[in-house]
Structure 1
C-alpha cells in the first residue's frame, strides 16, 4: 500500500515538474497556435540581450509544393512596416536632417498645401487627419513605384478627415507621406536607406511575394479553404505596409533597437514617449498608447512593452519588445486571420522568459471531466479532459461554450468547437489556452480556480471531476 502511494506521489510530482527544453516548448506552442487557426505557415523568433534564443517554423510556405516554412522564409510585414519608417525618421532627427515638428511641404514640392502643412509627428502618431484606405483605393496595388516620392500620386486630391492634431485616425496613407518625407530628407531612395542605415545586413526589404523564392506564398481563406491570394504590389506604401522579412531578421532588428544600435538611447526614449493631441490627451486605442509610431503597452504582468502588429492580404504579423528585459519577439504568418497576436507572441515566448513567481503548483488534472465558470459575469460550462504528453507537458481539451465561440470564431479562419491547453509552468498553474484567435494566458488563482484573459474578456474557470 505504501509503495503504491509513493508511486502516485512521484507521478504527481513529475506531472508538475517535467518540462521540455524551452526551445522545444516554444515550438510546440507555435505548432498548436498555427493548427488551431488553420494558417498555412508561421514563423517566430526570440532574441534576448543581443543573442538569438530561439527560432521556429510551422506549416508550409508553399502548400501546393509542400515546401515547409524555414528560418530564412520571408513574410509580408503589413503594418509592422511602420516601425521602420518612424525609426528612419528618428535617425534623421538625431542627425539634424528632419525636424518632426516642422511641415513636410518644403521637402516635397508640389504636394497639396493641406498635406504639406502636416508634420512627421502628426503623421507618425495618426494625428494628421489623413484618411485610411477609401473606396477609390480598391484597385491599388496594380502599379509599381521606384521611389517613395513617386507613390505620392495616390495622395492627390485627398481631403483631411479632421483638423491636424485633433484626434487619432489610423492612416496608412499618412505613412506613404512620411516615407516620402524621410526619403527626401535623407537624400536617398527609401529602400536604399532601409538597406544601408536602418536594417543593414538583415533579411528585411520590400515585399517580393511571387517574385523571390525566399518569400512565402501569400494566402487567403475563400469558400472554406486556403487559396493563394491575388497579386498585390505594395510599393504605394513601403512606409506603411510594404516591407517583408524573415522572423529571425525582424526579431534581431528589434534586438538592435533595444541595444542602441539603430538609434541612440535618448532618441529611442523620445520615440517611446507617449504623444499628446491638441487637447493634451494621450493618443492611442485599445490597451496601448502611441509614441512616435510605436505602440506602448504592457504585458499581462504589467511589464512595459513597445510593439506593432499588422494585417493585410496574405499576412498577420507582430514585433513585440520588452525594453526592461532586453527581449524581442517576432511572429509572422502567410494568411490574414483574426487574432490576438500581441498576447499570442507574449505566450509563445513564455518558455524562454522567467517563470511567474508566486503561483501555486497544480499537477495535471487527469481525472477532470468538465468545467464551469463565468465570462464577464455570464455562466459558462462544458466538458474537459487532460493528459501528460510525451514531452511531459500537461495538455487539455475543453469544449467551447456558445458564448465564448462568438468571441473566438470570428473568421475568416475556420470555426472550431473546442479549445486546447498547453502547460507553461507548474503543471497547469500557468498555461496557454489555444484558440482559433491565438494563445491566451491561463493562471491559477488563490481559490484554485483559473483566470483567463481572451480577446479582452475576463474568464474564470473551475475544473471538476466526474
Structure 2
C-alpha cells in the first residue's frame, strides 16, 4: 500500500500520524465543494440547541467541510453514560448525495491501538506475561535485539523500532503515485504481520530501547502477534471476546482482509485532478493491530467510558495504562496505547487516528465520565491546514466547555495531537 510523504520528516503521514489529512508534496489538485447537509440529534433537554457544555458543536462540524477539504464529519458527546449530543455534516456518498448519518461506521485508524493494549494488559493481569518481559521471550528470533526490548516499550513507543509505514513502499509522493495506488494492485495486497515486522526491522532503529520516544506502528503489529502467541487466537478474536461483546459494541469490528465497510458508513476519497476517487475499499491487513478497526462514535465513547471508568482493567493494570512517557511535545505524554493531552483545560485521555480519507478523534476525562468521538473524511491529497484546528476546536469546546477555543489552546492541542502520534 502506498501512503503519503510530505516535506517535513516529523510531519510525515503514516498510519495514525497525519495520514488521513496530509498534503501532497507538489501535487496539482482541484478544489471540490461537496454538497452539504446538516443533521443534529440532541438527547433531551441536555442536548438543547446542540450545545454540549454550552458549546455550539454543530458549528464545529460545519467547519470540517466549509473549505471543501473534507466531505463529511460526525460526532457524539457523552457525559455520565448518556449521550448529550450527536450530529453530522456533509455528504456520505458523493455519487448519490446521501447525507451523513451520525450513527454511521468509519475506519478508526490508530484508535485500534487502545483496544489492543487493553487486551495485553488483561493478559498481564492473568499472569500470562509481564510488561517488563523481553519481546524475545515470547516471539523468539523475530526482532533483532529483542532481548533488550520489553513489552512495555512496545506499548508506549519507546522500543526504538522503525515504523514500517515510513518505508518508501508505503508512501505516495505526488499525485501521480497517489493515482497509481488508487488504480493499482497494491491497494488490495494482503499482508501478514510477519511481513510488516520484517519491513520495520530491516531498517536501523531510531534509538536504543528506552532511550527516546518515536511513534511506530511496528510496535503494535508485534503486540497483536503477542496476543496470538499467548492465547492461540488472533488479536481480533481476543478484542472481540474481551471488549466488543461484553460492552455490546455492536457496530465495532476488526476486519481481517475484508476490503469494505458494512452497514451505513461515510465514503473516503482521494482528490485527483480529474475529480474525487472513492477509496473507501482497500485491504486493511496493511494496518493490522496498529489500526484496522471500524466503529461508530457511540461505540468508541462507550469503550472510552468503560476503559477509563475501570470496567476493563484491574487497578494495577489501570495504573500501568496511565503511566506515561514524554513524547517530545510539552503538551502530550503517551501511556500504554493511550495518550494524555492538554487542550488548555487540564489533561484529557484518548487517541486519534487516520487512514487515507479517514480521520478519528477519541478523547475524554480521566474518570471516564465525559468523552467526545469524532469521525471526518478529509480528501487524501488535500491541504489539511484547516482541519487540524477544527479537530482541536471540537476537543476544546466539547470537553473543556469553552465558548471559543483560544489561539493558545489550539496551538497546545495541535502540539499534543502531533506529539501523541498523529
User: Normalization by structure 1: what TM-score?
Assistant: 0.65
Q: State the partner residue of 2:362.
A: 319
Report the alpha carbon displacement of residue 456 of structure 1 after superposing the two structures with TM: 5.1
Match 1:259 to one of 298, 309, 314: 309
Provide the rounded CA distance (Å) in 2 between the counterparts of 1:215 and 1:240. Answer: 21
Matched-pair contact (CA < 8 Å) for 1:84–1:239: no
Alpha-carbon offset, residue 231 of structure 1: 4.7
Larger radius of gyration: 1
Q: Matched residues in 2 for 1:292 and 1:100: separation? A: 10
What SS is found at the alignment partner of 1:263? coil
The answer for the alignment partner of 1:82 in structure 2 is: 113
Distance 2:149 2:124 in 1: 16
Which of the residues 142, 164, 188 maps onto 2:233?
Answer: 188
Alignment of 1:38-187 (within 5 A): 38-115=69-146, 117-132=148-163, 133-138=166-171, 142-144=188-190, 152=197, 154-155=199-200, 157-187=202-232
Paired position in structure 1 for 2:349: 306
The residue aligned with 2:63 is 32
The alpha-carbon deviation at position 271 of structure 1 amounts to 0.8
CA deviation after TM superposition for structure 1 residue 115, in Å: 4.1
Any gaps of 5 or more consecutive residues in structure 1? 1-18, 276-281, 357-423, 425-430, 432-440, 443-450, 459-466
TM-align CA RMSD: 3.0
How far does residue 283 in structure 1 lie from its aligned partner after superposition?
4.2
- CA deviations 1:30-54 (Å, max 9, x no partner) are 2233324631111211122222222
Larger fraction in helix? 2
Structure 1 residue 232: deviation in Å? 3.0
Offset, 1:220: 2.4
How much does 1:342 deviate?
A: 5.2
Question: Take 2:292 and 2:330, find their aligned partners in 1: how far apart are those partners?
Answer: 25
Deviations 1:350-408 (A, max 9, x none): 5xx7x56xxxxxxxxxxxxxxxxxxxxxxxxxxxxxxxxxxxxxxxxxxxxxxxxxxxx
User: Which ranges in structure 2 are unaligned for 5 or more consecutive residues?
Assistant: 1-47, 172-180, 415-422
User: Which structure would you say has the larger RCO, counting Cα contacts within 8 Å and 6 or more residues apart?
Assistant: 2
SS of the aligned residue for 2:364 comes to strand
- Relative to 1, partners in 2 of residues 1:119 and 1:330: Cα closer, same or farther, differing over 3 Å? same
Number of aligned pairs?
339
Q: Paired residue for 2:49, among 14, 20, 23?
A: 20
Higher strand share: 1
SS in 2 for 1:121: helix
- Give the match's secondary structure for 2:253: strand
